Amino acid sequence: QKEVEQNSGPLSVPEGAIASLNCTYSDRGSQSFFWYRQYSGKSPELIMSIYSNGDKEDGRFTAQLNKASQYVSLLIRDSQPSDSATYLCAVNPSTLTFGKGTMLLVSP
Amino acid sequence: DTGVSQNPRHKITKRGQNVTFRCDPISEHNRLYWYRQTLGQGPEFLTYFQNEAQLEKSRLLSDRFSAERPKGSFSTLEIQRTEQGDSAMYLCASSLELSANEKLFFGSGTQLSVL
């Protein structure tokens, strides 16, 4: 059973819009949650971490966590073409477990 | 450069050959991880070290795979008798384990192609 689920996309949004990326996880004991951005042919880059229920904002990025629903999301405000990448949700029940990622395409 | 360094960046080999990859973590990080990623998938955990001790190995890590971190600094991942199914990006990551909220930082990866 897959432990971290994400829609593979692509999610297409116009420049300036809000992109909403979602993730569910299966292990209720998970304590740490991360979003990584991965450009094609490159390695994952950590962009957000969240550890408690609620919202955490960093610049144009907001991570949201709901442990009761086992749900994590990432909002990207004022999306830019340079945000076009695959966004990986990662959860840490013991070792960091990744979803397949959601491809985001931001059109000019 | 203070990031995670991996060598080589690309490796092309013939089926049945042995290959070895190297990872140099961020200097003060005590944990080092190996992941494998294939096209369209997220990274899959292979193994990790805390200092020189290998603490966990995934079921994905068959007996053809071996990893070492002899002095608690750099690590090597060896694949013996490579198969076409081993073709993937091999990613190394390191972290400073302070609490349950450790963060992993990845190197650029080694892209392996088995012909």
- Categorize the per-residue pLDDT at B100 as very low, low, confident or very high, splitting at 50, 70 and 90: low
DSSP per residue over B9-33, as a string? SEEEE-TT--EEEEEE--TT--EEE
Instruction: Determine whether the interchain pair B103/A49 forms a contact, defined as Cβ–Cβ distance below 8 Å.
Output: yes
Number of C-beta neighbours around residue A16 at 10 A: 11
Q: Give me B18's structure tokens.
A: 């042995």
**Nearest-CA distance from B64 to chain A in Å?**
22
Amino acid at B76: T
More confident residue, A50 or A92: A50
**pLDDT of the residue at B98:** 64
Q: Is B7 exposed, middle or buried (0-12, 13-18, 19+ CB in 10 A)?
A: middle
Q: What is the pLDDT of residues A32-88, one digit of tens each?
A: 999 999 999 999 999 999 999 999 999 999 999 999 999 999 999 999 999 999 999
Please state, in angstroms and rounded to a whole number, the distance separating the CA atoms of residues A82 and B21.
31
Instruction: Determine whether the interchain pair A43/B44 forms a contact, defined as Cβ–Cβ distance below 8 Å.
Output: no
- The values of phi and psi at residue A81, to 5°, are -55, -30
Residues of A in contact with B106 (CB under 8 A): 36, 43-45
Residues of A in contact with B100 (CB under 8 A): 31-32, 92
Q: What is the pLDDT of residues B47-82, one digit of tens each?
A: 999 999 988 888 878 899 999 998 889 999 999 999
- Given a cut of 80, whether residue B1 has pLDDT beyond it is no
DSSP per residue over B58-92, as a string? -TT--TTEEEE-TTSS-EEEEE-S--GGG-EEEEE
Q: Which of B9, B41, B101 to mutate to test the interface with A (most CBs of A within 10 A)?
A: B101
**pLDDT of the residue at B48:** 92
Q: Which of A93-97, A98-102, B51-55, B89-93 has the lowest mean pLDDT?
A: A93-97
Q: Which of A58, A96, A97, A100 to mutate to test the interface with B (most CBs of B within 10 A)?
A: A96
Average pLDDT over every residue of A10-28: 96
- Given a cut of 60, whether residue A1 has pLDDT beyond it is no
Mean pLDDT of all residues belonging to chain B: 92
- Given a cut of 80, whether residue B107 has pLDDT beyond it is yes
